[in-house]
Amino acid sequence: MNFDRNSVIGFILMGILLIGYFIVTNKEQAAYQKMKAEEQKKEKARLDSLKAKNKPLEDSIAGIQDSLFRKQNSFQKFAIADSSEKFTVAENNLIRVTFTNKGGQIKQVELKQFSGQDKKPVRLAAGEHNGFSYLINTAVSLTPETTETGNLFFSGSEIRTNPDSSQTIIYRIAAPDSIGTSIIHEYTIRPNDYLIDFNIKIKGAERLLTQNILNLTWKYTALQQESDLSYEKMNTQVGYVEDGSFDYHTIGRRSKVTLDKNISWVGVRQRFFFGILRAKDNFSSGVMQWEIPADTTRTVVRSTAKLQIPVPTNSPAELAFNFYFGPSDYHILKKYGLKFEKLVNLGQGVYAFVRPINRFIIIPIFDFFNSLLKNPGLAIVLLTFFIRLLISPLTYSSYLSGAKMKALRPELDKLREKYGEDRQAMSIEQMKLFREAGVNPLGGCIPALLQIPIFFALYSFFNSEPSLRGAAFLWSKDLAAFDDPIRFGFHFPLLGSHLSLFNLLACVTSFLISWYSMSLTPDQSNPVLKYMPYIFPVMLLFFFNNLPSGLTWYYTVSNLMTLALQFVIQNYIIDHDKILAKIEENRKKPKAKSKWQERLEQMQEQQKKLREMQQKAQRKGK
């Protein structure tokens, strides 16, 4: 990217967009946390007040219910032979799933190919706030008794190996024979797959379920998996497909979403990992809500999805679901054909226009280089070369524009000497000079602006590419996190407690590009344009310090290539004598003004005359 005056403007606009993105995101998260704390405080006060008012009535009702309960003779419960929790493990080459007989559900999932901060396999769906449960009627009386299946102890848990090498684990729970109701939970794990099949078979659904509706609750906690918890929260979202359309929400911007119809799946994607619940025949409605715990809990988000699904009238009624606990890898998720990959941030919201760039250009090229070299750091170098080659026409156009501006420098200096501080006259004459010479003053700015989509595409890519996670390169231990070889031992405002060396190199090389480019352009009378190229790299030092080292490494390599290309093109490729000759040739050609140029010159002339009249009036007054 060339940094003549117009290129500088383009780069400044690009930087302002990025900086604005960070500022808005941080403000939204702070506002959300404050709002959440106030809501919790008000809700607690309201509940305490209601509890105090209603306690006498509750005591009276409880006494009546207890009396009625004791009088019932038709009370029957599910038979529970063993009320102790037991665990069963099933696994394939990707995941190790621990099941529990309490609720007949998944206890936790370990990802064999990914390590957490403790160097042990990443654990998903682990902890207290996790599980799948639904409400059933466990007794028939004048005051029916209900309970959550998550509180019941199932029997069974035997593992069956199928002909296709998949594994099936079955849990059962049944009422006395006279009732004829039972529930079966059946899980199947296939080889080389993160997707878990889950089937529920209910006998006597008309007795166990109210209005034949399964009201289920899925709780999911995303534990911290990356070194920078705050950055992980910024890159965590909930998503779903409702009525065939995908949608998502960043966790810091709201805390609840109501789903009305035909919900295919709901899920939580933290930066590199994904938990999903899918119903093969769709949920009919539901609500998904979540909260962001304090950083001390080392938890990214806790979510609760309350969903409804109609149950078939046949007996036994069967419902089919899927769980996905695995990486948020675009390739893996896309193969299911269920729009899981939509939640991978390759460009979302106002930046959705860069998603095709990632899908069809950056990801395939990076995957090719990474498979070839088996080293993500070196693959980033080759990716940089490819992108620079891709945008070389824009780069050359920008440099050529800078060379033309350099060729006009002597004449611009003469105009500056002639008109001095009269900027209005200087602007008019400068536009005339550009038109006569056939030079577009925006020639360097436009190519810079056209590179903005690539900038944002790369920003999204480096924040979501799983192969960078845990990949060491040079002094960086993890290309998906900031490198911190320089640690302060204290918190420095805006910068943090460390200094990223890749970020420092990126900022230094950006400063060198600015210095070299400004040396090739006419002197700037505008102090903002004169000093901004030198201020901006310093600003980047603060805003880029917590970004993934893979991204700052890319910009370091890109800047070094820019310096080299700029020197070679300016000194060995662009012929400045030919440029001067071309400018002289353009001056001899008849010029046809565009309507926009005519209006602009008319407006400038009018302003010039108005100012001259004002100056004459001031002299007469004296």
Can you spell out the DSSP letters for 106-167? EEEEEEEEEE-TTSSEEEES-SSS-EEEEEEEEE-SSS-EEEEGGGSBPEEEEEEE-TTS-E
Candidates 171, 173, 175; CA nearest to 158 is 171
The rounded mean pLDDT for the chain is 80
Distance (Å, whole) CA 612 – CA 604: 12
Q: What is the pLDDT of residue 64?
A: 46
pLDDT digits (tens, 9 = 90+) for 36-93: 556 566 666 666 666 565 555 555 545 544 444 433 333 345 555 567 889 999 999 9
| Cα distances (Å, whole numbers) of residue 560 to 191, 381, 384 | 46, 11, 11
| 8 Å CB contact between 5 and 529 | yes
Q: What is the pLDDT of residue 221?
A: 95
Candidates 523, 193, 574, 140; CA nearest to 399 is 574
For the entire predicted model, the pTM comes to: 0.77
Distance (Å, whole) CA 333 – CA 328: 7
End-to-end CA distance of the chain: 53
Helix (H) or strand (E) holding 322: strand 317-327
Helix (H, G, I), strand (E, B) or coil at 219: strand
Distance (Å, whole) CA 140 – CA 434: 91
Q: What is the pLDDT of residue 128?
A: 86
Q: Look up the CATH number of domain 79-344.
A: 2.70.98.90
Per-residue DSSP letter, 79: B
Q: What is the pLDDT of residue 488?
A: 85
127 Cβ neighbours under 8 A, 6+ residues apart: 108, 221, 223
214 Cβ neighbours under 8 A, 6+ residues apart: 134, 200, 308, 309, 310, 311, 319
Q: What is the pLDDT of residue 75?
A: 34
- pLDDT at 533 > cutoff 70: no
- pLDDT at 381 > cutoff 70: yes
Q: What is the pLDDT of residue 484?
A: 87
| Cα distances (Å, whole numbers) of residue 595 to 310, 591, 598, 601, 620 | 66, 13, 5, 10, 38
Can you spell out the DSSP letters for 166-216? -EEEEEEEE--TTT--EEEEEEEE-TT--EEEEEEEEESHHHHSGGGEEEE
Give mean pLDDT, residues 578-595. 64
Evaluate the omega torsion of the peptide bond into residue 316 and state whether it is cis, within 30 degrees of 0: yes
- pLDDT at 240 > cutoff 50: yes
| 8 Å CB contact between 315 and 220 | no
pLDDT digits (tens, 9 = 90+) for 484-522: 888 888 888 878 888 899 999 998 988 888 777 766 555
Q: What is the pLDDT of residue 54?
A: 57
User: SS3 letters for 547-572?
Assistant: CCHHHHHHHHHHHHHHHHHHHHHHHH
Q: Would you list the domain boundaries of the chain?
A: 79-344
Q: Compute the residue count for the chain.
A: 622
Give the pLDDT band of residue 565 (cuts 50, 70, 90): confident
Q: What is the pLDDT of residue 3?
A: 41
